[in-house]
Amino acid sequence: MRIVNMHEAKTHLSRLVEAAANGEPFVIARAGTPLVKVMAVDAPVPGHKRRVGFLEGRFSVPDDFDRMGAGEIAAMFDSDT
């Protein structure tokens, strides 16, 4: 992760914020000591795992899902072209 000093952060704030918004977080340091981490608001929280089943109830899967199009697929392999 990029570390910038306070002076550089003040001088190039627009560019640094744009980079953070595009997924490149950075740390602002004073006298070599890290003070704050700047990252996009919608960036994923480190260590946070995505929840399985978050779309439950939003759509349904047909009972024959694993057999859908089986005839057409078999025909593609059985053709003599």
Distance CA(28)–CA(37), nearest Å, equals: 6
CATH of domain 2-38: 3.40.1620.10
Spell out the domain ranges in the chain. 2-38
Q: The whole model's pTM is what? A: 0.53
Average pLDDT over residues 31-43: 91
Distance CA(9)–CA(28), nearest Å, equals: 7
Alpha-carbon dihedral of residues 42, 43, 49, 50, nearest 10 degrees?
Answer: 40
Q: What is the pLDDT of residues 57-72, one digit of tens each?
A: 888 888 988 998 898 9
| CB within 8 Å of 47: residues ≥ 6 apart | none
Q: Sorting pLDDT into bands at 50, 70 and 90, what band is 42?
A: confident
DSSP-derived 3-state class of residue 7: helix
Which pLDDT value is given to residue 30?
95
Q: Per residue in 12-47, is it b (16+ CB within 10 Å) or e — as a string? A: eeeebeebbeeeeebebbeeeeeeeebbeeeeeeee
